Structure 1
């Protein structure tokens, strides 16, 4: 008998323990979001039914990760847990210096505190929020140079996270002395969770070599990016994901990592590089602000859980399930007539709020309006990726972001298909009543990363 081919891709795991959800009513949710200043970051987690605010640190650890916690050694200096962690990182990213941090933004802060500064320019395919904020905090300019296809929400180009090579070349010719490093974010979170091709990474590496610039990766979704390369880039279909990851790493001089994403951790990150002098300067800041170099703000048990997570995330069965389940949500919304960024990304589905709510101008935050409506309708918490997040400029002025998106980020190994079917119903309900939604204004905001704590109110 021939081997059967099944269309259904099941979760490559069984549920070992469960966490109860509190089922709320629309009236309770309206009251909760109003008391939170219409900011979903300020809504209490127990008031959320399906939490798609972020995939950062919100996933479920495996049986073997929980077992690894028990193996953690909490020695202040020289813990064996550090060396287990370091070796797991180097198995995929063979950099000489691996510096643990408590999460990714700490790695960014250390790196840009050393290499940033007034008058500097840091190019990236697209900076995410904390990356941009840490660059700008030093007085440097965070410049996005994503390829043109990324600006077309419905383009089917498979690698819309690619760098605009001509723009990068022009920048380095005109202002090369001001550029301390080039960064590439894989996958491109702010751009719709879109991957970067190996061909583009090789081309960026060639440009950096010609101009004598180091290339760093913001690599927190590296495994998902490698899977897309395997699936869609010619010549890589038969390769193992760890092999693709090692080729990606070999093109870079260093990396920042939020280990709360693909490394399957609830906390953690690292900064890695080959440059001895840069590593020394970064470790000096690490000791000042994070901790000793062999723990860097983490417990030994966290380091061991991350080491195990790095082994699990490159399994093909897991990645096939992860990417396909995200596509299931995105394709269902698209088929319902809801405008989403395509191709569907690896960790999230992005609704084009500006297209869905054309009557709300960008400076009235259509993404925020849609996100609040989804929460009120179904208790689904999402995240605005648009003018509320990126519209404020370093000089205090405000301009519309390139796009106003709402991100539905799916925590790893956490929700089932029935949860996603519920999310689809909530989105369809809101879409059917989209003409009733109103814009928002900000009535209180901090000077940086305002979307985390700003207070909003509806526009009358």
Structure 2
């Protein structure tokens, strides 16, 4: 049973095939360059694309727009402390702004940052500090067929190999991303969080949790980790986050808002350093590049995020999409993650070599066929990282209906029917920073 009903609707239309063909060509075969009005079902990201609740809209109207010390900031502080257990909070305009604040304060040239798996902006911020982003995924993280409960876990064994390579003094930060977006949105167990915490203590590193999807992760713990079957999502989330020295958060995910993020820390000295960077890059530390109304809406969203009915609806819709695609014969990474379904484009387009980006070819065909926008998370997005050629279908929260899910499945089935006739792509223009090329590069069919 759904835990919400619809109050406001937005009209959408599917452009005809000729228009979609022209749009794709004009976009340089990069769906980031498409206009949103030309997309029918938009699964590019779950970041900032969801629907807010009536309570959040009410909070928007009550927002306090004072430059310093606004009541809306106090509401956010209170929500972060109650839900996540951190008293010291610095807001930012979104998650990557928060990453800039935190990693700029913690990471120096020549350092190595360990993560279960870095996502694109995290990797880019680490690289921007002159440091190395080293991944430490679980052994089965990229085994698409292994039906294991916590494929997003951090590998302490791999982390120790990196420490032996560079020395503990050069590893100032250990990051745990929950859920693990770059590893198909897979969850991380509480036990693994505890192990990662102990490893960070062992090498005297700051332990950071990237908490963008912390409530979805807690729901999986409740389903899959022994001893948590009767626990609330809120209590599991709080326990898991209690292990961290610092949090980096995109509120556009499980803050359930369209803008905003924050850094939360325990150490007063680190707090001061982050605040000073906030003044330089984001704004005064009690608004951080956000309007007071958005701070207020995020405070409400954080409390709604850990509601069991809300997160159950969310997980079940993603799972339904995955099961329908699998029943249609589409090769998937299994099991589905919390926020997205990941399709194995390397298997679906086995005739397209990795250097011709089978994942990006699939992304383009989904738009051409049905106006569906997805995102490639393989060789195009992560060049040289030897990851599988996956395509992510990220469902916005509280946005699409079952009919939209069915349209996505029908679109995949039509593309699969002519898969052998689809060719790969080549890059014809790209930015200097390889970690960010998928946002703006242009391609053409081979």
Quickly name the TM-score band, shorter chain normalised: over 0.9
Question: Following TM superposition, by how much is the alpha carbon of 1:400 offset from its aligned partner in structure 2, in angstroms?
Answer: 6.0
Question: Is the 2:93–2:260 Cα contact (8 Å) retained in structure 1?
Answer: yes
Partner of 2:39: 48
Q: Contact 1:362 / 1:400 at 8 angstroms: preserved in 2? A: no
Q: Equivalent residue of 2:182, what SS?
A: coil
Match of 2:418 among 421, 427, 433: 433
Deviations 1:126-185 (A, max 9, x none): 010000001001110001100011121110011000011211233334421111110000
Distance (whole Å) between structure 2 residues aligned to residue 43 and residue 354 of structure 1: 24
State the match for 1:402 in structure 2: 387
Partner of 1:4: none
Counting only pairs closer than 5 Å after superposition, residues 127-138 of structure 1 correspond to structure 2 as 127-138=118-129
Paired position in structure 2 for 1:208: 200
TM-score after normalising by structure 2: 0.98
Shift of 1:117: 2.5
SS at match of 1:151: coil
Match in the other structure for 1:379: 371
Q: Which residue of the other structure, out of 163, 169, 194, is the alignment partner of 2:186?
A: 194
Does the alignment pair 1:87 with 2:78? yes
| CA-CA distance at 1:282 after TM superposition | 1.1
Conserved in 2, the CA contact under 8 Å of 1:92 and 1:249?
A: no
CA distance in 1, matches of 2:69, 2:239: 30
SS at match of 1:389: coil
- Partner of 1:123: helix, strand, or coil? strand
Q: TM-score, normalised by structure 1?
A: 0.95
CA distance in 2 between partners of 1:372 and 1:228 (Å): 32
Q: What's the counterpart of residue 331 of structure 2?
A: 339
Asked whether the 8 Å contact 2:340–2:393 carries over to 1, the reply is: yes
8 Å contact kept, 2:75–2:296: yes
* 2:258 alignment partner, one of 266, 278, 282: 266
- The 5-angstrom pairing of residues 340-379 of structure 1 reads 340-379=332-371
Q: In structure 1, the residue corresponding to 2:228 is in which secondary structure? A: coil
Aligned to 1:422, what secondary structure does the other structure show? helix
Q: Secondary structure at the match of 1:149?
A: coil
Deviations 1:171-230 (A, max 9, x none): 334421111110000000111010000111111111112222121011100000000000
What pairs with 1:174-185 in structure 2 (closer than 5 Å)?
174=165, 175-185=167-177
Query: In the alignment, what sits opposite 1:151?
Result: 142
Aligned to 1:394: none
Query: What are the superposed Cα offsets for residues 209-258 of structure 1, whole Å, 9 maximum, x if unpaired?
Result: 22221210111000000000000111101001111111111111001000
- Residue 179 of structure 2 contacts residue 186 of structure 2 at CA under 8 Å; is this kept in 1? yes
Residue-by-residue CA offset, 1:26-84 (whole Å, 9 max, x unaligned): 11101101001111000000000000000000000111100000110001111011000
Alpha-carbon deviation of 1:295? 0.4
Q: CA deviation at 1:92?
A: 1.7
Q: Are residues 1:230 and 2:230 paired?
A: no
Secondary structure in 2 matching 1:158: coil
Per mean C-alpha deviation after superposition, the further-off stretch among 100-109 and 164-173 is 164-173
Q: Tell me the residue number matched to 1:323.
A: 315
Q: For the residues of structure 2 that align with 1:179 and 1:78, how far apart are their CA atoms?
A: 36
The secondary structure found in structure 1 opposite 2:380 is: helix
Tell me the distance in 2 between the aligned counterparts of 1:170 and 1:253.
23
* Cα pair distance change 1:400/1:204, threshold 3 Å: closer
How many pairs does the alignment contain?
Answer: 443
Q: CA RMSD in A?
A: 1.0
Question: Post-superposition shift, 1:341?
Answer: 0.6
Would you say 1:452 and 2:439 are equivalent positions?
yes
The equivalent residue for 1:101 is: 92
Contact 1:363/1:400 (<8 A) preserved: no
Q: Distance in 1 between matches of 2:336 and 2:313?
A: 14
Measured at CA, do residues 314 and 97 of structure 1 come closer, stay the same or move farther in structure 2, by a change above 3 Å?
Answer: same
1:355-410 per-position Cα deviation (integer Å, ceiling 9, x unaligned): 1111111111110000000000000000000111110xxxxxxx363111110000
CA distance in 1, matches of 2:266, 2:311: 29
The 8 Å contact of residues 49 and 379 in structure 1, kept in 2 or not, is answered as yes
1:422 aligns with 2:407: yes
Q: Is the 8 A contact 2:63 2:72 kept in 1?
A: yes
Post-superposition offset of 1:96:
3.1
Query: Which stretch shifts more, 107-116 or 66-75?
Result: 107-116
Task: Using the TM superposition, name which of 312-321 and 365-374 deviates more.
Answer: 312-321
Aligned position for 2:233: 241
What is the alpha-carbon distance in structure 2 between the residues aligned to residue 41 and residue 426 of structure 1? Answer: 19
- After TM superposition, the structure 1 = structure 2 runs for residues 247-326 of structure 1, keeping only pairs within 5 Å, are 247-326=239-318
Contact 2:102 2:274 in 1 (8 A): yes
| Distance (Å, rounded) in 2 between the aligned partners of 1:111 and 1:84 | 22
